[in-house]
Amino acid sequence: MEPVDVADLFLGPKSENRRYFKETLEFLMDEHIHWRRDFHPEDPRIVRQYDERNAVRRETLDRTTEVLLDLSSRLKASSMPWFSPRYLGHMNADTLMAANLAYMATILYNPNNVAYESAPATTELELEVGEQFAGLFGYDPERAWGHITADGTVANYEGLWIARNLASVPLAVREVEPDLLDTDEEWELLNLPTDRILDLLSAARDAGVLDAVRRHSARGTGTEPGSLGKVLVPMSRHYSLAKAVDLLGIGQDHLIPVEVDEEYRMDVDRLAETIDGLVAEETPVLAVIPSAGSTEEGAVDPIHEIADLRADYEDRGVSFSLHVDAAYGGYARASFVEDREFAEIDRVREVLDELDVVDRETDWPPEHVYEAYRAFSRADSITVDPHKMGFVPYAAGGFVVRDERALDTISYSAPYILEESAEMPDRLGSYILEGSKPGATAAAVWAANRVVPLSLEGYGQLVGRGVEGAHRFFHSLESTDEIAVGDRRVAVQPVTRPDLNIVDFAFNEVGNERLDAMNDLNEGLYERCSYRNGPVYTKDFVTSKTTLDAEAYGDVPGAFAAELGIPEDAWNEVGSVTVLRSCVLTPYLAYDTTYGEYWETFMGAMREHLADILGAE
Ligand SMILES: *Cc1c(COP(=O)(O)O)cnc(C)c1O
């Protein structure tokens, strides 16, 4: 397939593709208008023609216009200019024209994917997207199952919901049909590998006791908090996981954050120590949930090492579910896929170089990122957000399980496998967490994944351009000597070399050893580069910020502050570092022609704000 032309994927920072966009939108609207008109043309017209309308009706239309104008001016006054490379803040960039147009076209048909009967077209699209995601993640398409969720939060709930219910299945089988088991030891039953539990579930179905097992599993009986084990997450985890253990009755006390290393990746040695400690006191591990792209740093946890660790523990009779939270970074796996295969690392680098996406000097992907992404296929389930690196409008998350039999632990209908012979589930809503849900989202994600394939020539290069832009930005920050601000001097440092495309960075006045003063400086910059003071539309540069504190990260941020001249005792006293955070999703900073000028503009804005904050002449 020909690589996509990135410049033609978006409306564009100056609405460059406006003509195409408007013509296509009008065409799609006409299609819909005809669709209505042609439905039983013999039916009489109920609403009178525009030119026959009476005064009351004109008033209604006028009021509608007035309200929409009000809406439009509110939107223009304070919305975030995500289309522009001047916006380097949260996980946002321009959204794909294909996705926007598909969404707008579909919304007029108002399909509800909760049930096939209210959304025949878009239910099929949603399940096709599930298959696309299964392919993206290297799952066996015959066994895997995926669908669209409202967001990454809901997808994480589903991952942990399935993990919880699965973990409770062996104990339920012990009550209902113990003959299906080789053991009645509680410890062994709480440590069966996922595949063994799925086989057990199949056996229960074959024995006609599936419903009884489900009633005796966690979904029926509830659980004592912690009784099924601990949930181990990196310190950098997203807070949706805290909500999930709360809602699922696991309890936040049983969510254990594991230390991260200096690159903010889950530390596998600490993970193993934690598991050893739990095993020693006979506390099971329910699930381990690494991230591929942590929300604050874009750090990619060593999923391959975690999968290896699980295999080692299984040899010793200890197992747990492995769910990957790739809400942020899931789409980046496209950068490693060619012809549906996970490509060799040299081939990945070669193609990204040939397509002029990632510069050779950028040297991406590093081995550990590549291996972590390869290991996605070893996880039991994965969360992915099309509304982040998929460049699709909100609200679009996604969830995929490696083995569809797991759905029987959460479904509220006949076993999935049985109903599947009918091709489509009658009621998607009975296999998932949500109820009514927009078919328009399914259309948008499906259109995006069709126009921009989930492989190197599609999303691979689109995401790759963000990665390249982020690395350029990182190198510029790293190689910036002191910045002269009047008679003062200021230093700037990136926190880590990005695994993907997030750059965290902070400024400090040269010679300042007070961490609170350094934090104030960066807070001040954030205020001037956000919605905080004055309309965002007039800002030269817009960013986001985050706080790296001792409670969440141990002493890791202290080492970063030290690079900016903050002594250890200042770190111990304050215990938190405010950093600016730039998610570089925009593909435009990968171009030589734009980057140089961009960096000048960025530094100009920073100098001005620094002078303002420091009161320098
Ligand atoms: C964004 C994010 C989530 C939550 O996704 P939403 O779509 O915002 O609900 C979960 N995990 C990670 C790592 C994320 O970056």
Convert the pLDDT of each residue in 467-525 to its tens digit.
999 999 999 999 999 999 999 999 999 999 999 999 999 999 999 999 999 999 999 99
Please determine, for residue 53, whether its predicted confidence score (pLDDT) is greater than 70: no
Number of structural domains (the chain) is: 1
* Domain membership flag for residue 86: no
Per-residue pLDDT band at 50 (split at 50, 70, 90): low
- Count other C-beta atoms under 10 Å from residue 80's C-beta: 15
* Contact present, 41 and 122 (Cβ < 8 Å): no
Q: Which residue did the predictor score with more confidence, 467 or 361?
A: 467
Structure token digits, residue 167: 């973990």
Output the pLDDT for position 52. 63
Please determine, for residue 442, whether its predicted confidence score (pLDDT) is greater than 50: yes
Per-residue pLDDT band at 594 (split at 50, 70, 90): confident
* Domain membership flag for residue 488: yes
* Domain membership flag for residue 606: yes
Output the pLDDT for position 383. 98
Output the pLDDT for position 412. 86
Please determine, for residue 277, whether its predicted confidence score (pLDDT) is greater than 80: yes
State whether the beta carbon of 94 lies less than 6 angstroms from ligand 1: no
Mutate-to-test residue for ligand 1 from 158, 237, 241, 328, highest number of ligand atoms within 8 A of CB: 328
Phi, psi angle pair for 264, to nearest 5°: 65, 25
* Domain membership flag for residue 439: no
- Of 416, 459, 588, 595, which is the active-site residue? 416
Output the pLDDT for position 55. 62
Please determine, for residue 420, whether its predicted confidence score (pLDDT) is greater than 60: no
* Domain membership flag for residue 555: yes
- The atom number, within ligand 1, closest to the CA of 294 reads 13
Please determine, for residue 372, whether its predicted confidence score (pLDDT) is greater than 50: yes
Mutate-to-test residue for ligand 1 from 90, 233, 238, highest number of ligand atoms within 8 A of CB: 238
Residues 6+ apart with CB under 8 A from 199: none
Q: Which residue has the least CA distance to atom 3 on ligand 1? A: 152
Q: Which residue did the predictor score with more confidence, 46 or 93?
A: 93
Burial class (CB in 10 A: 0-12, 13-18, 19+), 107: middle
Q: Is the omega angle on the peptide bond into residue 395 within 30 degrees of 0, that is, cis?
A: yes
Please determine, for residue 423, whether its predicted confidence score (pLDDT) is greater than 70: no
For ligand 1, the distance from its centroid to the CA atom of residue 294, given in whole angstroms, is 9
State which H helix or E strand residue 401 sits in: strand 397-401
Output the pLDDT for position 591. 84
Pairing assessment for the beta strands 321-326 and 285-288 based on DSSP bridges = parallel
* Contact present, 510 and 491 (Cβ < 8 Å): yes
Output the pLDDT for position 47. 79
Structure token digits, residue 402: 């490696």
DSSP lists the bridge partners of residue 96 as 10
Spatial distance between the Cα atoms of 357 and 466, rounded to a whole number of angstroms: 9
* Domain membership flag for residue 597: yes
Structure token digits, residue 525: 């910059």
State whether the beta carbon of 151 lies less than 6 angstroms from ligand 1: yes
Q: What is the average pLDDT score of the chain?
A: 95
285-288, strands of its sheet edge to edge: 145-149, 397-401, 381-384, 321-326, 285-288, 230-234, 255-258
Host domain of residue 491: 480-614
Mutate-to-test residue for ligand 1 from 153, 392, 394, highest number of ligand atoms within 8 A of CB: 153
For ligand 1, the distance from its centroid to the CA atom of residue 28, given in whole angstroms, is 32
For ligand 1, the distance from its centroid to the CA atom of residue 232, given in whole angstroms, is 17
Residue with tokens 């200890």: 318
Lowest mean pLDDT among 9-18, 243-252, 533-542: 533-542
Q: What is the dihedral of CA 26, 32, 38, 40, to 10 degrees?
A: -150
Please determine, for residue 59, whether its predicted confidence score (pLDDT) is greater than 90: no
Q: What is the mean pLDDT of residues 608-614?
A: 96
State which H helix or E strand residue 277 sits in: helix 268-280
Angle between helices 592-614 and 515-528 (to 10 degrees): 120
Please determine, for residue 533, whether its predicted confidence score (pLDDT) is greater than 50: yes
- Count other C-beta atoms under 10 Å from residue 133's C-beta: 27
Q: What is the mean pLDDT of residues 330-342?
A: 97
Output the pLDDT for position 426. 81
For ligand 1, the distance from its centroid to the CA atom of residue 323, given in whole angstroms, is 14
- The atom number, within ligand 1, closest to the CA of 397 reads 7
Convert the pLDDT of each residue in 296-324 to its tens digit.
999 999 999 999 999 999 999 999 999 99
Question: With b meaning 16 or more CB within 10 Å and e meaning fewer, what string describes 270-285?
Answer: bbbebbeebbeeebbb
For ligand 1, the distance from its centroid to the CA atom of residue 295, given in whole angstroms, is 7
State which H helix or E strand residue 57 sits in: helix 55-78
Spatial distance between the Cα atoms of 86 and 13, rounded to a whole number of angstroms: 10
Question: If you ran DSSP here, which 8-state letter would residue 377 be given?
Answer: G
State whether the beta carbon of 153 lies less than 6 angstroms from ligand 1: yes
* Domain membership flag for residue 64: no
For ligand 1, the distance from its centroid to the CA atom of residue 383, given in whole angstroms, is 9
Rounded to whole angstroms, what are the CA distances from 550 to 260, 280, 357, 557, 571? 12, 28, 37, 7, 9
Please determine, for residue 464, whether its predicted confidence score (pLDDT) is greater than 60: yes
Output the pLDDT for position 418. 46
Spatial distance between the Cα atoms of 140 and 401, rounded to a whole number of angstroms: 10
**Does the active-site annotation cover 331?**
no
Lowest mean pLDDT among 100-109, 167-176, 531-540: 531-540
Convert the pLDDT of each residue in 156-188 to its tens digit.
999 999 999 999 999 999 999 999 999 999 999
Per-residue pLDDT band at 51 (split at 50, 70, 90): low
Per-residue pLDDT band at 415 (split at 50, 70, 90): low
Output the pLDDT for position 612. 96
* Domain membership flag for residue 88: no
Give the type of residue at 63.
R
Please determine, for residue 414, whether its predicted confidence score (pLDDT) is greater than 80: no
State whether the beta carbon of 335 lies less than 6 angstroms from ligand 1: no
Residues 6+ apart with CB under 8 A from 179: none
Q: What is the mean pLDDT of residues 31-60?
A: 82
